[in-house]
């Protein structure tokens, strides 16, 4: 059996740890060089979430928190495929999402933005990719919201994504943005990504995934770190 | 090999508002959690690991999230630093065994607002003789090695994480 070795983080597209325009990085980014760790079984393994019983509406944020009616806002479908750098789709990847409601307000108790909560919208969901690496969420388009990074700072519309592939080396937490958002060019979190990587974080409007009389479609594919061995074995 | 079509998706920060999505039950949100901080049921074999995460000015970080992974026992845990009184973390798990002269350890993935990409570290244990022969510990300078070693206390292990400064924790490039 040949040893699997995962490619390093591609720093052509990942943001640097320290990005002073995003002020919180200044006291929180590690400053000493990382210590190179030879990938061992600990790094090449990870939790298997296949036996977790996902709820019927875990992938449908328009339904998973209904109390007395439909959540307000623009319904959207967000779908795509999870690949690795070798171009192989990654089945059984756990995808978790969280987001603000249509007014730009998070349910999280520390969010003090003066915009209304929606009693019928939690803003959290999850799913597993299918055998072809595909996933699909139904949700409400999140609103922009202000934050304290600098004067008149607003985050562009975004959905937070957390992915857990086959092992801990393949961990990814990121944010998906929407095409044409004028706030992107002012957002230090988005702009911390090198120019070459920025387009990779913007979803595409997808007319084919748009459901008539129901919801607009957006496509967002993921690429996780690839590895040296070409044959892909499903574990 | 990577090519232009399949470039890695860039990382972005977990931000301050992950709690109701990733650690919902811990933070008392009405959404079932996939993982929590009790990796084993509490019995004679279980250990407790506690610690806090500090920023570059020595302030406790109250909105970090840790994931720990023990491949030997196939145990995974997740906990945010926003609910304990000291804004720290606590995990109940069991101690892995030493294998082939290498010391037992747990893998840690650390996320927080202000980190654009997550950090990897490891938890070793101060009462393990195999620390002296461990391949990974031995590749690290003496004065930084201690940042990876949880100190045994009466009934728990203490593992503080320092993002910066003289005691900056060793983070790995994996
Ligand atoms: Fe956000």
- Domain containing residue A24: CATH number: 2.60.130.10
Q: Which residue of B has its CA nearest to A20?
A: B114
- Residue B66 is predicted with a pLDDT of 98
- B12 CB within 8 Å of a chain A CB: yes
Q: Does residue A148 have a pLDDT over 90? A: yes
- pLDDT digit string, tens, across residues A109-143: 888 899 999 999 999 999 999 999 999 999 999 99
Nearest Cβ partner of A24 from B82, B107, B113?
Answer: B113
For residue A152, the model assigns a pLDDT of: 97
User: How many A from CA of A39 to the centre of ligand 1?
Assistant: 32
Full 3-state SS string of A200-230:
HHECEECCCCCECCCEEEEECCEEECCECCC
Average pLDDT score over residue span B53-59 = 98
Q: Is A89 an interface residue toward B (CB < 8 Å)?
A: no
Q: What pLDDT, on the 0 to 100 scale, is given for residue A2? A: 58
Active site residue A160: yes
pLDDT band at residue B1 using 50, 70 and 90 as cut-offs: very low
What's the confidence (pLDDT) of residue A1? 47
Alpha-carbon distance A87 to nearest alpha carbon in chain B (angstroms) = 6
Q: For chain A, positions 2-41, list CB contacts with chain B under 8 A.
A: 6-10, 12-17, 19, 22, 24-32, 34-39, 41
Nearest-CA distance B71 → chain A (Å):
5
pLDDT at A3: 74
A222 touches chain B (CB under 8 A): yes
Residue-range definition of the domain harbouring residue A128: 1-235
Cα(A159) to centroid(ligand 1), Å: 7
For the cut 90, the answer to whether the pLDDT of residue A234 exceeds it is no
Model confidence at A233, in pLDDT bands (50, 70, 90)?
A: low
A92 Rama class: left (phi>0) / alpha (psi -120 to 50) / beta? left
A149 touching chain B per CB within 8 A: no
Q: How confident is the model at residue B100 (pLDDT cuts 50, 70, 90)?
A: confident
d(CA B155, nearest CA chain A) in Å: 26
Which tokens in the block code for residue B152?
């045994």
pLDDT at residue A53, rounded to an integer: 82
Write down the catalytic residue from A106, A135, A177, A218.
A106
pLDDT computed for residue A229 by the predictor: 72
pLDDT tens per residue across span A157-190: 999 999 998 899 999 999 999 999 999 999 999 9
Cβ(A235)–Cβ(A13) below 8 Å = no
Given a cut of 60, whether residue A146 has pLDDT beyond it is yes
Give the number of beta-carbon pairs within 8 Å between A and B. Answer: 234
Cβ atoms of B131 and B149 closer than 8 Å: yes
Average pLDDT over residues B85-99: 96
- Pairing relation of β-strands B161-162 and B53-54? parallel
Distance B13 CA to ligand 1 centre (A): 9
From ligand 1's centre to the CA of A3, what distance in Å? 38
**Closest Cβ–Cβ partner in A6, A29, A84 for B115:** A29
pLDDT at A109: 83
pLDDT band of residue A235 (cuts 50, 70, 90) is very low
Tokens matching residue A110: 């520390």
Among the partner residues B69, B71, B164, nearest to A31 by beta-carbon distance: B164
- Mean pLDDT, chain A, rounded, equals 94
pLDDT tens sequence across B34-51: 999 999 987 768 999 999
Question: Which 116-155 residues of chain B touch chain A by CB within 8 A?
Answer: 116-120, 136, 139-140, 144
Catalytic annotation, pick one of A155, A177, A225, A227? A155
Check if the beta carbon of residue B19 is closer than 8 Å to that of residue B80.
Answer: yes
Give how many domains chain A has, as a whole number.
Answer: 1
What are the backbone angles phi and psi of residue B152, rounded to the nearest 5°? -75, 125
How many Cβ atoms are within 10 Å of A123's Cβ, its own excluded? 29
Instruction: Delineate the domains of chain B, giving CATH numbers in brackets.
Output: 14-162 (2.60.130.10)
Tell me, in angstroms, the distance from the centre of ligand 1 to residue A105's CA.
Answer: 9
* pLDDT digit string, tens, across residues B136-173: 999 999 999 999 999 999 999 999 999 999 999 999 99
**With an 8 Å Cβ cutoff, is A159 touching chain B?**
no
Enter the pTM of the model.
0.95
- Which tens digit of pLDDT belongs to each residue from A14-28? 999 999 999 999 999
Q: Which residues contact B129 (CB under 8 A, 6 or more apart)?
A: none
CA angle, corner B47, sides to B41 and B50, nearest 5? 110
pLDDT at B2: 42
Q: Determine the pLDDT at residue A187.
A: 98
């Amino acid at each position: 059996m040949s040893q699997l070795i995962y490619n390093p983080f591609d720093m052509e597209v990942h943001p640097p740890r320290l990005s002073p325009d995003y002020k919180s990085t200044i006291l929180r980014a590690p400053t000493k060089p990382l210590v190179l760790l030879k990938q061992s079984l600990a790094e090449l393994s990870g939790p298997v979430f296949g036996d977790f019983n996902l709820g019927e509406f875990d992938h449908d944020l328009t339904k998973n928190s209904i109390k007395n009616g439909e959540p307000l806002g623009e319904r959207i479908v967000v779908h795509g495929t999870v690949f690795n750098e070798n171009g192989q789709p990654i089945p059984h990847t756990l995808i978790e999402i969280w987001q603000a409601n249509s007014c730009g307000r998070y349910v999280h108790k520390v969010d003090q933005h003066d915009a209304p909560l929606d009693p019928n919208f939690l803003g959290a969901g999850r799913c597993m990719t299918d055998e072809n690496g595909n996933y699909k969420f139904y949700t409400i388009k999140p609103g922009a919201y202000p934050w304290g990074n600098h004067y008149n700072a607003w985050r562009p519309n975004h959905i937070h994504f957390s992915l857990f592939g086959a092992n801990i080396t393949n961990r990814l937490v990121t944010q998906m943005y929407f095409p044409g958002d004028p706030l992107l060019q002012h957002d230090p979190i988005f702009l911390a990504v090198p120019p070459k990587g920025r387009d990779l974080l913007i979803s595409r409007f997808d007319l084919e995934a748009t459901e008539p009389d129901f919801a607009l479609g957006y496509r967002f594919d993921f690429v996780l770190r690839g590895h040296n061995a070409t044959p892909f074995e499903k574990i | 090999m990577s090519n232009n079509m399949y470039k890695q998706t860039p990382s972005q920060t977990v931000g301050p508002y992950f709690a109701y999505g990733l650690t919902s039950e811990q933070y008392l949100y009405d959404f079932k959690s996939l993982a929590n901080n009790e990796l084993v049921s509490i019995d004679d074999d279980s250990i407790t690991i506690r610690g806090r995460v500090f920023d570059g000015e020595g302030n406790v970080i109250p909105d970090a999230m840790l994931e720990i992974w023990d491949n030997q026992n196939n145990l995974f845990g997740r906990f945010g630093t926003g609910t304990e009184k000291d804004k720290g973390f606590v995990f109940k798990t069991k101690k892995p065994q030493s294998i082939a002269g290498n010391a037992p350890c747990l893998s840690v993935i650390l996320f927080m607002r202000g980190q654009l990409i997550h950090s990897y570290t490891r938890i070793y244990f101060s009462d393990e003789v195999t620390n002296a022969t461990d391949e990974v510990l031995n590749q690290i300078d003496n004065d930084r090695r201690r940042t990876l070693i949880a100190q045994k206390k009466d009934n728990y292990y203490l593992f503080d994480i320092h993002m910066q400064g003289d005691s900056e924790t060793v983070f790995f490039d994996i």
